Amino acid sequence: MAVIEVEDLRKEYRRLRGGRTVALDGLDLAVPEGGVFGFLGPNGAGKTTTIRCLLGLIRPSGGRARLLGADSRRQLASVLRRVGSIVETPTMYPRFSGRRNLELLARLHRIPHAAIDEILDRVGLSDRAGHLVKTYSLGMKQRLGIAGALLKDPEVLILDEPANGLDPAGIVEVRQLLRRLAAEGRTVFVSSHILSEVQQVADRVAILARGRCVASGPVDEVLSAGRASALVVRLDDLPAGLEALRAAGLPASLDGDAIRVSPPPGDGATITQVLAERGLFLSELRPERIDLETVFLELTKEPE
């Protein structure tokens, strides 16, 4: 069952001097239950707009968004108790303490007081809980936002750039927290532009560009779909190796200080055999590593 379903979602804003800005252009998305779902896209791709539509904060110009089966325009109230969220920078009352902010939220759903202390401890804010939020660093505000999102003990977490403003240690903590939350059976929907983080933590990703989903699925599938896989070959005599591989009918090309064979033969042993027959010996043979960043940049680059 998909906990988040988005169908043909559109959002347009009128410009002051006429015309329209299209923020979402027929977005389709399905987030299955459980695990961490990475929601990626460059600035202005429509990530936050999508999240705002899902949470009923803005009205879509067209299409449909459903959260836990509830239409986000009409039935959201029935499922909000099961959804924790952060939208952009967490927004709390700056002149109240962190604890008071959480108390005000907890009252809305009759959440017991003990849960507040537990959550504050979990996000490492116990020591500063009594201080005014306006004295918090960006990272501390982010932690408070995460605390607010976790306060409902939600089934689904929607986190918009949760690592924003955090130091490296904080980023690692958030990553571990997300994995832990997913391991507890929750669905974590996280938007981020820190691709390496998402790659480490997400089970599935969707990549957004110009208001549309350009790739979606398990991380491995999205990585391999971006470009054809290849084998990287290293040896001392590159020109001789290149000639030998081409002579054997393999699609080899020089790529810096290595030879790239793409698409690779069904069996990597073919390459070692061809080279060995010419008295050439490998120093390295490995599949080309494609990271999410490469795929992301290829999929989201502006059309020329």
Partner 1 sequence: MTSLIRSEIRRLTSRRLVKALVGLALLAITVTGVLVAVYSRGFERFSILNLPGVLEGTSFLLGAGGWVIGASFAGAEWESGSITTLLTWESRRTRVILTKVAVVAGGMFLIGVFAEALFALVLALVAATRGTTAGADVDLVRAVVTLGLRVAALSGIGAALGFSLAMVSRNTGAAIGIAFAYLAIVEAIMRGLRPGWRPWLLGDSASAFVLAGDPVIGRSVWSAAAVLLVYAGGFILIATTTFRIRDVT
Which one, of 250, 262, 261, lies nearest residue 284 by Cα?
261
Three-state SS across 195-211? HHHHHHHCCEEEEEECC
Of the pair 158, 195, the CB lying nearest partner 1 is at 158
The residue ranges that bind partner 1 (CB under 8 A) are 52, 55-59, 76-77, 80, 83, 85, 87, 89-96, 100-101, 103-105, 107-110, 145, 148, 152
**Residue 91 is encoded by which pair of tokens?**
């927004």
What residue type is 246 in one-letter code? R
SS3 222: helix
Q: Please, what is the minimum distance in Å from the beta carbon of residue 36 to partner 1?
A: 20
Dihedral sign, Cα of residue 102, residue 103, residue 104, residue 110: positive
Q: Please, what is the minimum distance in Å from the beta carbon of residue 172 to partner 1?
A: 26
Please give the angle made by the CA atoms of 229, 232 and 237, to the nearest 5 degrees.
150
Q: Buried b vs exposed e over 36-74: b needs ≥16 C-beta within 10 Å?
A: bbbbbbbeebbbbbbbbbbbbebebeebebbbbebebee
Q: Count of H helices and E strands in the chain?
A: 10, 14
Of the pair 51, 250, the CB lying nearest partner 1 is at 51
Of the pair 128, 152, the CB lying nearest partner 1 is at 152
Q: Please, what is the minimum distance in Å from the beta carbon of residue 132 to partner 1?
A: 10
Which one, of 98, 151, 103, lies nearest residue 129 by Cα?
98
Of the pair 62, 94, the CB lying nearest partner 1 is at 94
**Residue 6 is encoded by which pair of tokens?**
């988005």
Of the pair 119, 230, the CB lying nearest partner 1 is at 119
Of the pair 22, 240, the CB lying nearest partner 1 is at 22
Q: Please, what is the minimum distance in Å from the beta carbon of residue 103 to partner 1?
A: 7
What residue type is 140 in one-letter code? M
Residue reference for tokens 């000639």: 243
Of the pair 45, 55, the CB lying nearest partner 1 is at 55
Q: Please, what is the minimum distance in Å from the beta carbon of residue 151 to partner 1?
A: 9
Q: Please, what is the minimum distance in Å from the beta carbon of residue 95 to partner 1?
A: 6
Q: Please, what is the minimum distance in Å from the beta carbon of residue 127 to partner 1?
A: 21
SS3 145: helix
Residue 80: phi and psi, rounded to 5, are -60, -30
